[in-house]
Chain A
Amino acid sequence: MTLAATSASEPRFRMTRSRWFNLALLGIVIVVLIIGGVTQPEFLTPDNAIAIVRAAALIGIAAVGMTFITLSGNFVSLSTQQTAVLSAILFAMALGAGWSLLPSVAVVFAAALVLGLIQGWFVALGLNSIVTSLGAGAAIFGIANVITDNRTVQARSDVADFLGNSRPLGIPIQVWIFAGLTAITMIVLLKTTFGRQVKLIGSNRDTARASGIRVGRVVIWSFVIASVFASICGILLVAQVGQAKVLNFEDFNISVVAAVLVGGTAIQGGEGSTLRTAIGAIVISTLDAYMLFAQYETGTRLVITGVVVGLAVISFNWVRTRSST
């Protein structure tokens, strides 16, 4: 009887732990929005809401890409910011040289692909991902500096204007792209062989290897995805503001890592999703937007962000270790 009962109830919607997490994260967003709306009446105006989602979209796109690295058991990348900066500069230069949109995007993607391949190959060999991306980030940033010589690169923004400033159905295009990429990556993770391989090598590398998965190749592709997604952020920024400089994307690494960690993707790999990262990005950006709006000092904002990330990491870890033993 019990057997029949359980198997009958199996397909029905159940509140799994991960669904509780998603709900809790959305709860935090709603609480922040309510506090913001009550204490700062202008916080919930359409203009401000659009500014928030636009900021969330850029962080979210990069974080969704980085989720593949985290899921594959390689923690995070610390070269996202630098990749976005270099991509923005390359894109602005291509547009400024009179190239049309598609070739410019293609060049930026190709560069990001190479950067991702190199870092992914290093990590696939068995090198530490954090230290590799730290070194790669410094090198990429150095290259960006050498290319621009500390000058701002002007792009002919009208070519790419619709990528930066259009609003289909009243919602900024960046948000559409963010939502689209989140949906696509969710399908990739849940329905494709590659997506399942990423999760398997994150949760049990030896099993993955024993079952014939080419672990190195999967790791390399997760770094390529992260790198290309970071370059999309660079492209979108240039499309929006029409110029690029090395000081763009300040503190981007921190926000992106924070989004992944707050989203609750397991830092040891294997468990998590890009949807959760997307929600994490919205949480971080809403929090940040509110603190900026309420004119918190830089220090207070950083401390609160740091504490939120730390608590998220500790509590996710606590829940997981308790449930596994």
Chain B
Amino acid sequence: MTYRFFTPAMISRIGIVVLVFIVFGVSVPNFATFDNVFAIFEYFAFYGMVAAGIAATMLVGELDLSVGSVAAVAGIIAIAASGLGLLPALLIATAMGVVYGLAQGWIIAKTGINSLVFTIATLIMMRGVAFMLTPTAQIMPLDRIGMSDFLKTQIWILSPTSITTITIMVLLGLFLGFTRWGREMMAFGGARHEARAAGVNTRRPIIIAFIISGALASLAGAIASIKSASAAPFSYEGLLLIAVTAALVGGISLYGGKGNMFGVAIGTLTLNVLSAGIALRGAAIYVQDLATGLVLLVVLIVEFLTESPQRKAWSERRAFERQLAAAAEAKA
């Protein structure tokens, strides 16, 4: 298998993000500025990390709906552990995500329960855990003032956060493309029955995918909370929508087995450029939600028209019906 990045579909995705950027750059004042590009990359760092994790679950044909709640829990843990220093706080929060993902993935793999339904239960539960961890159910401030400074360092248009996200995406891409376990995940997601028949372990891909999504959602939540110097149990409720949309825009298929991390990066960037443009026009936050929702629906249709097995079955059936009709006509 050759590993091709620049497929025609990927080039058109890159084209779209460039186009959206140019349109806003021309029509919105202060859009094509250095500071705004930096801000876009900061959003990219946060959403991209979560989207990469969700993409891992989508690649094996599952979907983790609980990322928002997990990110909230991780943010609170990171703030609570901030006395130990930046790195330990982030590591502890991420370790929570790994353990959580392992447990969740194991239950889903073992029972065969559809993850779309099971993760709704864990989504509720983890939101509850987030509230339980904050004694007053209010915003937890970060006491150590200087701690977030490092994360806010600006390196050209990047920051430690966005560099972390890009590194993670590269590593994850390499893992999925070139290691045995990663390729197992892709094979498993693309054709579950065939993969099983070929002797692929049927539990490991699912468990690994959920560990990745739990860990990345946690790391993202932890970094974001320390950077903003506060954590609240009710935060990140809209995270799922944006992360799923970003992964889908980037060409990760909901039907499993298709897509790569480079696409996730492009998809996230597209959404961030879009919402930054809308925000700079002075529109209310809910307009961004509306836009994200509409983008998601449009992408779903496009994906359906190009990728879905149902669509193929549907067009085959149509062709067959047409043949039958033609045969009947010929008889008559």
**Which of B213-221, B264-272, B281-289 touches A?**
B281-289
Q: How far is the CA of A80 from the CA of B254 in the complex (A)?
A: 22
Q: How far is the CA of A134 from the CA of B237 in the complex (A)?
A: 12
A163 near B: Cβ within 8 Å? no
Q: Are A304 and B128 closer than 8 Å at their CB atoms?
A: yes
Looking at A140, A150, A302, the one whose CB has the most chain B CB atoms below 10 A away is A302
A143 near B: Cβ within 8 Å? yes
Q: Are B293 and A302 closer than 8 Å at their CB atoms?
A: no
B286 cross-chain contacts in A, Cβ below 8 A: 141-142, 145-146
Q: Are B137 and A297 closer than 8 Å at their CB atoms?
A: yes
**Which of A101-109, A226-234, A307-315 touches B?**
A307-315
B65 near A: Cβ within 8 Å? yes
B159 near A: Cβ within 8 Å? no
Query: What sequence of 0s and 1s flags, for each residue 208-241 of chain B, a beta carbon within 8 Å of any chain A beta carbon?
Result: 0000000000000000000000000100000011
Main secondary structure of the interface of B (DSSP, over half): helix
Q: Are B128 and A135 closer than 8 Å at their CB atoms?
A: no
Q: Are A301 and B128 closer than 8 Å at their CB atoms?
A: yes
Q: How far is the CA of A127 from the CA of B123 in the complex (A)?
A: 23
A267 near B: Cβ within 8 Å? yes
Q: Are B120 and A309 closer than 8 Å at their CB atoms?
A: yes
Query: What sequence of 0s and 1s flags, for each residue 233-276 of chain B, a beta carbon within 8 Å of any chain A beta carbon?
Result: 10000001100110010000010000000000000000000000
Range, interface on chain B? 35 or more
A299 cross-chain contacts in B, Cβ below 8 A: 128-134, 137, 233
A126 cross-chain contacts in B, Cβ below 8 A: 304, 308-311, 314
Assuming the contacts A139-B294, A297-B137, asked whether A302 and B65 have C-beta atoms less than 8 A apart, the reply is no
Q: How far is the CA of A313 from the CA of B123 in the complex (A)?
A: 14
The one of A125, A128, A132, A309 that contacts B121, using a Cβ cutoff of 8 Å: A309
B146 near A: Cβ within 8 Å? no
**Which of B15-23, B44-52, B111-119 touches A?**
B111-119
B111 cross-chain contacts in A, Cβ below 8 A: 314, 317-318, 321
A136 cross-chain contacts in B, Cβ below 8 A: 293, 297
The one of A134, A307, A321 that contacts B296, using a Cβ cutoff of 8 Å: A134
Q: Are B117 and A313 closer than 8 Å at their CB atoms?
A: yes
A279 near B: Cβ within 8 Å? no
A75 near B: Cβ within 8 Å? yes
The one of A75, A139, A305 that contacts B128, using a Cβ cutoff of 8 Å: A305
B148 cross-chain contacts in A, Cβ below 8 A: none
A257 cross-chain contacts in B, Cβ below 8 A: 120
The one of A75, A125, A139 that contacts B304, using a Cβ cutoff of 8 Å: A125
With both beta carbons as reference points, the residue of chain A lying nearest to B128 in the complex is identified as A302
A188 near B: Cβ within 8 Å? no
Q: How far is the CA of A211 from the CA of B191 in the complex (A)?
A: 28
B142 cross-chain contacts in A, Cβ below 8 A: none
Q: How far is the CA of A81 from the CA of B134 in the complex (A)?
A: 26
B122 near A: Cβ within 8 Å? yes
Looking at B121, B125, B133, the one whose CB has the most chain A CB atoms below 10 A away is B121
A9 near B: Cβ within 8 Å? no
A307 cross-chain contacts in B, Cβ below 8 A: 121, 125
Q: How far is the CA of A297 from the CA of B114 in the complex (A)?
A: 30
A268 near B: Cβ within 8 Å? yes
Q: Are A135 and B304 closer than 8 Å at their CB atoms?
A: no
Subset of 24 A-B contacts with CB under 8 Å: A75-B117, A76-B120, A127-B301, A130-B63, A131-B244, A134-B240, A134-B241, A135-B297, A137-B293, A138-B289, A141-B289, A145-B290, A150-B284, A297-B131, A297-B137, A299-B131, A302-B127, A303-B128, A303-B129, A303-B132, A307-B125, A313-B113, A318-B111, A321-B112
List chain A positions with a Cβ less than 8 A from chain B: 75-76, 122, 125-128, 130-132, 134-143, 145-146, 150, 254, 257-258, 261, 267-268, 297-307, 309-310, 313-314, 317-318, 321
